[in-house]
Every structure is written in structure tokens, then in C-alpha cells.
């Protein structure tokens, strides 16, 4: 997993507030103005600046600044790793996360050209061209969907006004999680994709809030299905990979039904009693339980709470595992399940606004992004089988030691006549065979 943090253009200049974020190589520093402006000698123990480190940090506030990072630069780091992964058959998932207004949509989906997505596609197609005269051939299909209030809408299909959200997420054992009835368009060149992309963006729901006049209130996933047909040892075979480009809804959204609640650690209170279950399910997750039922266990990310102690060897026979909680992860995490761990590469772009007025949101975005670095999908070992095996092996080692020791003793004993030695060797061998049989049976 690679995590990228990006400090984009902002509405900062329009607002005239103070800049509170600094970027220093791979570290982003946020200054807390509230603390800053207090008189010296306050008893506040909070740090004035908080530093977060990431794999990459970009500063895109002022084009004049020497540290200024253009979309081109962002792409070079990002796009290259996306592409190389996709060609090798990995699933790739690229997230943009951050407060509305901090430029996330700008990075992922927004206005024409010079966006990650475009770069990625351009890269794909140029690569495709390279291959055209060789044995390999490839197909690119795209789909584009939106998740709004936990409902899925196809962005590449003329929507029925009455029933805009009817798609269900399902899973197939062979093809993985999918959206039933989602349009997949076969594309052959870069221009087609851009058209589709723009068509979809136009359909996306954006609503006026006070923070941003075109803030995204929905998640959008643009998926590129990339299939390469190759000859492997003269046998035709296929490498399939999926690139998901995910634009997460603005992080200041307060709607509890939003899946954001499942992936961030916002302290908001859900107002409606109907969502009571969400509260209890986090309770149950916090107090994970003892059980030995699973050999390997998957833990979905719940930020810091998901850290599981690696089992202390030999002392406990059992793995901790939360009980079943009947609140499904959000549609978003469900759809991206295969992209959030295992054989996939995940890239996170956290965008923040350097303005002081966004201090809280900035902090929560950064906290989330640095927690996301800890997302783990850990298989675990069934310790009770292991404990048994260890015990048994210990016994065997003791037996082996005793046995070999008795050999050494005998070998070092002098003055046996050849004749007797021969007989004895015979005897010992017989003994050994017995011992051998005994422990084989154990």
C-alpha cells in the first residue's frame, strides 16, 4: 500500500485566512491557531504543531512557490505506480479523501485534462498501442457509478427519473463483488473514455452547502477493467486487473447514514434512534472476543481499534474474533472489498485545505489518512492446532535428544571387540527402529 497526501489548490486566497499547513518533504505539519494565539505560559499541553508523515506530500497552493506541485508531478508518482501494478495484474484502488472544497474532485474527476484519471488512461492506451503488434492484446472496459445515501446509481446510463437508484450490489464466486445491471462500456481509445467520464460527471449529484457551492455529496467510483490476453508458455492466458478510482464524499458531511461514518472516526452523534445499531456494532467491535473458530481471520479496517495483538505464542490457544454484527459495511467498502487488502494496491490521496478556518477538518482528514496507513487485512493462525503440534514436537525433540545421546555414549565407549560391537549395533538398530515406530505413531 502506498499512501499519498496532497495539498492542493484551495479557496484560501478567496478567504484571506491564515495558512496553517506546511509541507516539508514527506511530512505535513499543521499549526493549531487556537493554541498559537494564546498567551505564553498557558497550561495547555497540546502541541502547537502536529506533524503527519506520508509517502508523498505535495504543495499545490501557489504556482510561484518553489515547492509547488502540479498535477503532472502528482501523476508521475501516482500514475506510474498505478499503471505498473495494473499491467502486472493487481487490482488498484485510488481514493481521494478530504474535506469538500479542498480540491479532491479536482484531483480525481473534475474538470477536463490533467487529472490522474486521464493520465492513467492515457498511459493505459499508449501501452496498449505498444502491444498492438505483439502477441498480447488487451481490452478496456469502464463503468462509472455513484453511491448516494447508500444507494447505487449508474452514471453511464440514461436515468429513469422515477427510479434513479435501483442497482444492487451482489457477489459472484468467480467474478467478485459487482453491481447488478451496471453498464460496462468497451472503449478503444482515450477520447471515448473522456467523453464517458464527462457524461457521468454531469450526472453526479452535487448540492449546495455552505462550505462549497459545488460540493460532492456522493461517492463516485470509476472503474477500469483491464484485460490482457497473453501467451504464456505458448498457452493463451489472461491477466485481468481492475483500477478503481474512488472519489469519497466531502468529509464534513453529517448525515449518519453516510458510509463515511464507517471509515472515519468522527465523534458525531447519530440523531435518529433508528441508527442505534451502528452504535452497538461499534461497541461489539471494540470488545473483540475469544473464540477459536477461525483459522485465519479478516479484520476490516476500523482505524485504530483494529489493531490486534499478534497472538502470544503458546500461551493462548485461540484467536480473537468479533461476533457477527448485522450491520453491513457500507456499500462502498463492500464493493471495494477486494481492493482494500490482499492482492491489491491501495493508494490514498488525502486533500486538505491549508486555511485556518478548516483546522478541524484538516486534522480529521490527516488523522484518517495516517490511520489508513494502518489498515490491515490480517490472516490469523488457529492457535489451538498449533499449540498441540508444538507440544508434540517438543516431546519428539526430547526423544530424539535422548536417543542421539545414547548413541554418542556408546560410540565414545572404548574397547569393544569387533564382534560384540557388531552385535550391539544390530541391537541398537533394532531398538532404534522400535523407538522410531513409536514416535511415528504419536
Partner 1 sequence: MAAAGGGWAAVCEKFRTARTLSAVESRKDPETEPYRSKYSARALLQEVKQLLSAAEEGGEARLLAVRRAVLEYELGVNHTDTEELSAGEEHLQRCTQLLEPHRLSPDCVSLYIQAQNNLGILWSERDEIKTAQTYLESAEALYNQYMKEDGNPPLDPSEHFMAEEDKLTDQERSKRFEKAYTHTLYYLAQVYQHLEMIEKAAQYCHTTLKRQLEYCGYYPVEWALNAATLSQYYLSKQCFMESRHCLAAASVIFSQAEQVPSAEDNETEQDQQDLRQRKAEIARCWIKYCLNLLQSARKLLEDNIGELDPDRQLELKAQRKKEEDEKEKGRKKAVLFGTSDICDSVLAMEEKVSSVYPLDFQEAREIFLVGQNYVQEAKEFFQVDGYVTDHIEIVQDHSALFKVLAFFEEDYERRCKMHKRRIDMLEPIYADLNPQYYLLISRQLQFELADTYYEMMDLKVAIGNRLEELDSHTIKKINSLAQLAIKYYELFLDSLRNPDKVFPEELEEDVLRPAMVAKFHIARLYGKLITSDSKKQLENMQTSLEYYTFLVDYCEKYPDAVRAIETELELSKEMVGLLPTRMERLRAKLCPFI
103-107-108-113 Cα dihedral, nearest 10 degrees: 130
Can residue 274 be called a binding residue for partner 1 (CB under 8 A)? Answer: yes
- Spatial neighbors of 193 by CB under 8 A, at least 6 apart, are 121, 140, 142, 187
Choices 2-10, 46-54, 64-72, 266-274; region in contact with partner 1 by CB under 8 A? 266-274
d(CA 203, CA 159): 9
Can residue 382 be called a binding residue for partner 1 (CB under 8 A)? Answer: yes
Q: What SS3 class is residue 217?
A: coil
- What are the grid coordinates assigned to 107, written together? 484531483
- What are the grid coordinates assigned to 421, written together? 560391537
Give exposure, 20-47, as e/b (b: 16+ Cβ within 10 Å): bbbbeeeebbbbbeeeeeeeeeeeeeee
Which has the closest alpha carbon to 56: 91, 7, 92, 102? 7
Can residue 184 be called a binding residue for partner 1 (CB under 8 A)? Answer: no
Q: How many CB atoms within 10 Å of residue 112?
A: 10
102 is in an annotated binding site: yes
Residue in 173, 236, 414, 418 binding partner 1, rule: CB under 8 A: 173
What sign does the dihedral 35-38-44-47 (CA atoms) show? positive
Q: Do the Cβ atoms of 292 and 383 come closer than 8 Å? A: yes
365 is in an annotated binding site: no
Choices 25-33, 64-72, 73-81, 276-284; region in contact with partner 1 by CB under 8 A? 276-284
Residue in 111, 159, 213, 291 binding partner 1, rule: CB under 8 A: 291
Residue 320 CA, distance from chain mean position: 22
Can residue 209 be called a binding residue for partner 1 (CB under 8 A)? Answer: yes
Can residue 171 be called a binding residue for partner 1 (CB under 8 A)? Answer: yes
Cβ closest to partner 1, residue 59 vs residue 90: 90
Q: What SS3 class is residue 365?
A: helix
Distances in Å between the Cα of 52 and the Cα atoms of 5, 7, 73, 294, 358 are 10, 13, 21, 36, 17
**Plot region of 314 (φ>0 → left; ψ -120 to 50 → alpha; else → beta):** left
Q: Give least dist CB 189 to partner 1, A.
A: 27
Can residue 379 be called a binding residue for partner 1 (CB under 8 A)? Answer: yes
Can residue 43 be called a binding residue for partner 1 (CB under 8 A)? Answer: no
Q: Give least dist CB 156 to partner 1, A.
A: 19
Bridge partners of 346, per DSSP, are 93
At CA 98, angle to CA 352 and CA 309, rounded to 5? 110
Give the footprint of partner 1 on residues 388-427 (CB under 8 A): 388-394, 396-397, 400-401, 403-404, 407, 425
Cβ closest to partner 1, residue 111 vs residue 431: 431
100 is in an annotated binding site: yes
Site string for partner 1, 136-155 (x = CB under 8 A): ------------x-------
Give the footprint of partner 1 on residues 309-368 (CB under 8 A): 310-311, 313-314, 317-318, 322-327, 337-338, 341-343, 360, 364
DSSP 3-state percent helix, strand, coil across the chain (nearest 5): 35, 25, 40
Can residue 386 be called a binding residue for partner 1 (CB under 8 A)? Answer: yes
- What are the grid coordinates assigned to 168, written together? 444492487
Cβ closest to partner 1, residue 11 vs residue 380: 380
Site string for partner 1, 67-106 (x = CB under 8 A): ---------------------xxxx---------------
User: Phi then psi for 2, rounded to 5 degrees?
Assistant: -125, 130
Cβ closest to partner 1, residue 115 vs residue 261: 261
Can residue 176 be called a binding residue for partner 1 (CB under 8 A)? Answer: yes
Cβ closest to partner 1, residue 122 vs residue 399: 399
Can residue 205 be called a binding residue for partner 1 (CB under 8 A)? Answer: yes
Q: Give least dist CB 313 to partner 1, A.
A: 4
- What are the grid coordinates assigned to 193, written together? 473514455
- What are the grid coordinates assigned to 21, written together? 499547513
Can residue 298 be called a binding residue for partner 1 (CB under 8 A)? Answer: yes
Q: Do the Cβ atoms of 18 and 356 come closer than 8 Å? A: yes
Site string for partner 1, 211-230 (x = CB under 8 A): x-----x-------------
Residue in 131, 239, 333, 357 binding partner 1, rule: CB under 8 A: 239
Q: Give least dist CB 393 to partner 1, A.
A: 5
Q: Give least dist CB 431 to partner 1, A.
A: 12
The bridge status of strand 27-31 relative to strand 49-53 is antiparallel
Choices 19-27, 120-128, 195-203, 277-285; region in contact with partner 1 by CB under 8 A? 277-285
Q: Give least dist CB 173 to partner 1, A.
A: 5
Q: Binding site membership: which residues?
A: 98-105
Q: Binding site membership for ATP: which residues?
A: 98-105
Amino acid at each position: 500500500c502506498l499512501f499519498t497526501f496532497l495539498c492542493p489548490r484551495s479557496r484560501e486566497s478567496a478567504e484571506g485566512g491564515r495558512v496553517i499547513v506546511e509541507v516539508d518533504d514527506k511530512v505535513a505539519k499543521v499549526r493549531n491557531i487556537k493554541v498559537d494565539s494564546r498567551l505564553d505560559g498557558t497550561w495547555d499541553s497540546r502541541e502547537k504543531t502536529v506533524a503527519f508523515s506520508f509517502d508523498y506530500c505535495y504543495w499545490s497552493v501557489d504556482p510561484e512557490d518553489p515547492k509547488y506541485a502540479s498535477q503532472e508531478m502528482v501523476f508521475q508518482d501516482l500514475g506510474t505506480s498505478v499503471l505498473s501494478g495494473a499491467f502486472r495484474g493487481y487490482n488498484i484502488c485510488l481514493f481521494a479523501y478530504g474535506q469538500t472544497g479542498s480540491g479532491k474532485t479536482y484531483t480525481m474527476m473534475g474538470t477536463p485534462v490533467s487529472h490522474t484519471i486521464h493520465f492513467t488512461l492515457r498511459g493505459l492506451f499508449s501501452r496498449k498501442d505498444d502491444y498492438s503488434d505483439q502477441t498480447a492484446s488487451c481490452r478496456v472496459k469502464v463503468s462509472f457509478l455513484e453511491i448516494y445515501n447508500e444507494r447505487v446509481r449508474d452514471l453511464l446510463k440514461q436515468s429513469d427519473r422515477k427510479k434513479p437508484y435501483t442497482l444492487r450490489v451482489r457477489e459472484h464466486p468467480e467474478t467478485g463483488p459487482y453491481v447488478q445491471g451496471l453498464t460496462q462500456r468497451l472503449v478503444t481509445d482515450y477520447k471515448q473514455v473522456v467523453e464517458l467520464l464527462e457524461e457521468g460527471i454531469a450526472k453526479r449529484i452535487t448540492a449546495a452547502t455552505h462550505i462549497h457551492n459545488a460540493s460532492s455529496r456522493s461517492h463516485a467510483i470509476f472503474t477500469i477493467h483491464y484485460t490482457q490476453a497473453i501467451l504464456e508458455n505458448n498457452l493463451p492466458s489472461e491477466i485481468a486487473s481492475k483500477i478503481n478510482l474512488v472519489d469519497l464524499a466531502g468529509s464534513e458531511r453529517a448525515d449518519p447514514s453516510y458510509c463515511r461514518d464507517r471509515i472515519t472516526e468522527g465523534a458525531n452523534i447519530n440523531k435518529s434512534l433508528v441508527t442505534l445499531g451502528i452504535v452497538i456494532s461499534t461497541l461489539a467491535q471494540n470488545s473483540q472476543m475469544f473464540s477459536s473458530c477461525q483459522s485465519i481471520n479478516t479484520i476490516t479496517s476500523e482505524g485504530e481499534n483494529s489493531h490486534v495483538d499478534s497472538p502470544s505464542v503458546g500461551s493462548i490457544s485461540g484467536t480473537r474474533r468479533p461476533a457477527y454484527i448485522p450491520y453491513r459495511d457500507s456499500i462502498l467498502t463492500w464493493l471495494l472489498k477486494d481492493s482494500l487488502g490482499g492482492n491489491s494496491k491501495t493508494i490514498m490521496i488525502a486533500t486538505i485545505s491549508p486555511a485556518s478556518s478548516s483546522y478541524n477538518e484538516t486534522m480529521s482528514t490527516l488523522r484518517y489518512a495516517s490511520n489508513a496507513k494502518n489498515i490491515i487485512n490480517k490472516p490469523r493462525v488457529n492457535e489451538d492446532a498449533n499449540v498441540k503440534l508444538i507440544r508434540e514436537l517438543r516431546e519428539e525433540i526430547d526423544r530424539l535428544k535422548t536417543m542421539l545421546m545414547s548413541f554418542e555414549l556408546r560410540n565414545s565407549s572404548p574397547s569393544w571387540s569387533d564382534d560384540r560391537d557388531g552385535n550391539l549395533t544390530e541391537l541398537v538398530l533394532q531398538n532404534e527402529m522400535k523407538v522410531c515406530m513409536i514416535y511415528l505413531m504419536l
